[in-house]
Structure 1
């Protein structure tokens, strides 16, 4: 049901979550956050779950838009974990609706790209994974979806470009977008089999190898060639 101007609520509804757009005064409103699991071979191996594209399909998890944080922020070290990990990713911003989209038509849905961090309570994720439980406590963490400004690239498919992350100046993750197991058109086509994709949907396309823990006081810097940079400061636990 759509609210009208006369609708009243028991308390103030949550804000519209949004991100800055390079070269525009308008901000991009966020609809949903989708994450692709194990989309680089070397990361799949380091997680103990190698991927055989010949017999497997992509899998996804989601986070609430309220987990969104802009680049440059300081976030508290989260509760309930002793192993908080960084995961650097290319983020795809959807700019047009699409359902059951073909790979050939997939670029039509691309609005642009950003750098992203999928911050993860790794210890809780692995416990859930090994018990066959949902990953929510490990992944859907407050202030854990960090995104840079959106760079408009309508209908552009990024197929290569260096991706790198460092913690306190030491390189932890380094790879190339050409190493994605499932590329941008494949991901759009596959995800659109299950969801009516909408403008403002963000797809975190997966992280390469080198994920690891961060501590309070750490500074995370990431960069993707042709897209931009991202920064996150890890604050003390609350």
Structure 2
């Protein structure tokens, strides 16, 4: 009985962590619901990115801009608490002329006025940091920053942009959580992601790190499979029925867990 409660505890902890992600529809599994095209105020109107099922970072979908001819971007506003620290994280790809994409977020007061963590907005951590573009990458790369909401803040406007002359800018798996906690499916930024393909459609789970004591549980907390795998190694789960599962393991002596969907 103790073992069953321990397994169910793992699933309960994962579900609790997932609830702490303040972003609605963070992986675009419901299309672009919850996201809006940014209003630039003047100039060329911004537009929402295109939904794609080709090589998402996780789940089934991601979004992308291709061959942008002008600055564009999208955003989501979420309630936050002044004085609270938050870790903002997302995965991206960016190619073109090295000035292709960046985060362009800010806090808002009750009147929707912008408030910056630093008085010098060019060095504000929500703007780069240091107003910099995201490094060029053809592979999924995580951008993560921890910030503290200044006084009088009531909302965070999380905005990302693509720029003229970019050939591809893609985004997936956004997360905003209170600092020190992680959303389900995420590993601390200094660690590798446990599983690369959280949507399993070829009967193989691919791991992003050396993982010891791999265990696969169904959503009832029953242990289904055990293994140990190397980084980029795979685990065949052809015998599993379609549905959701929790995968746990140890990476660099740290216990991690991740939810997967087997097609």
TM-score between the two structures when normalised by the length of structure 2: 0.24
Structure whose CA Rg is larger? 2
Greater RCO (CA < 8 Å, at least 6 residues apart) = 1
Larger strand fraction of residues: 2
- Higher normalized helix content (fraction of residues): 1
Q: TM-score, with normalisation over the residues of structure 1? A: 0.25
